[in-house]
Amino acid sequence: MLPLDGITVLDFSTLLPGPLATLFLSEAGARVIKVERPGGGDMMRQFGQAEFDLLNAGKDSIALDLKDPAALERLRPLIEKADILVEQFRPGTMNRLGLGYEAVKAIRPDVIYCSINGYGSNGAYASVPGHDLTYAAEAGLLGLTTGADGAPVVPWALVADVGGGTYPLLVNLLMALLKRQRTGEGERIEVAMFDGLLVFASWALAERMEKGTWPAPNGHAASGASPRYRVYPTADGRHLAVACAEPKFWETFCRLIALPADLASSEDWPAVIEAVAERIARRTSTEWTAVFDGQEVCCAVVRTPEEAITGTLARDRGFAPAADGSLTLPLPLAPSLRRDARAPAPTVGQSNEAIFGSLTQG
């Protein structure tokens, strides 16, 4: 038995944050019914079908024009059975469609109603549109790390969507399920991605509290200012990520690269960085891998995505490609809490006949 067996989720979300959250729920046993626009469906299908398939495997899809006055009545039987509703529109949109929290609660009193948006439903920013990069800019994260030209670096990791949206939603949602199990009460949950991103700036907030000043770009030990926590180029054009934050790791690292003791203990960070960089640049990434093999130094060669997903670590963790080369999105769920296999992602409206037909017959 999976932890969410018997739970039904109505998923109105699109693109990444909501669909990734409901993929977790589906993997844990929930039935996820994805509500899509007739024709094109979720916009992610146009942005990248492969990414849509990764995020929506194993879900049902119904196609329904939510602007049609009859849409609510068609959805009513599904709302009556839905334990969880997830939506990702701008604040106020679901109310205008007749599907706001109060309307849904009137149909299913113990529903757990989850909204993901950028800035919350109150305040001057409530209706302002945005995407991952927008929220990272507003939250100050882009200002903490810059390139050689001083300009902020566009992060590959979608920290707002996943770290500020998906994961906070899952935490709140699962706590709400536990509360409902104990009290019988539903819950209204709103996750603003801006809020979730502020957690990622904990180092900056702590420095402000301790020193009374905010860190400059790349000016904190956690953003590359320290020689102990930095990326260094190797002789073959690759890079070595050094994360020797603890003294014992730093001592071992300095011994292995033959850094003199006076530099190893120096607080003159620029001078130490220069000395470490000069030594790391003498050898290739393969040579450094051999030097650090079996040593406790917290160093790693910066891998390409291909190397990461096809390497030994991914195989050991069970995330490697299948024998036919196909990939699934790795989810950090304990094996006993997730399905053994995922069904393919649905086509737009694939489940219309099965779901609406069964409701009509019922």
Rounded Cα distance between 282 and 33, Å, is 56
Contacts 24+ apart (CB under 8 A), 169-176: 169/17, 169/18, 169/21, 169/86, 169/114, 169/116, 170/21, 170/24, 170/25, 172/114, 173/21, 173/25, 173/84, 173/112, 173/114, 176/112
- Tokens 């398939």 -> residue: 53
CA-to-CA dists, residue 110 to 80, 181, 293, angstroms: 10, 10, 55
Backbone dihedral angles phi then psi of residue 182, each to the nearest 5 degrees? -90, -35
Q: Are 351 and 10 in contact (CB under 8 A)?
A: no
Catalytic residue among 11, 42, 60, 161: 161
Residue 161 bears catalytic tag: yes
Rounded Cα distance between 287 and 304, Å, is 18
What's the distance, CA 224 to chain centroid?
A: 23
Q: Are 235 and 284 in contact (CB under 8 A)?
A: yes
What are the tokens at 241?
Answer: 């990520």
Rounded Cα distance between 331 and 156, Å, is 18
- Which of the residues are catalytic? 161
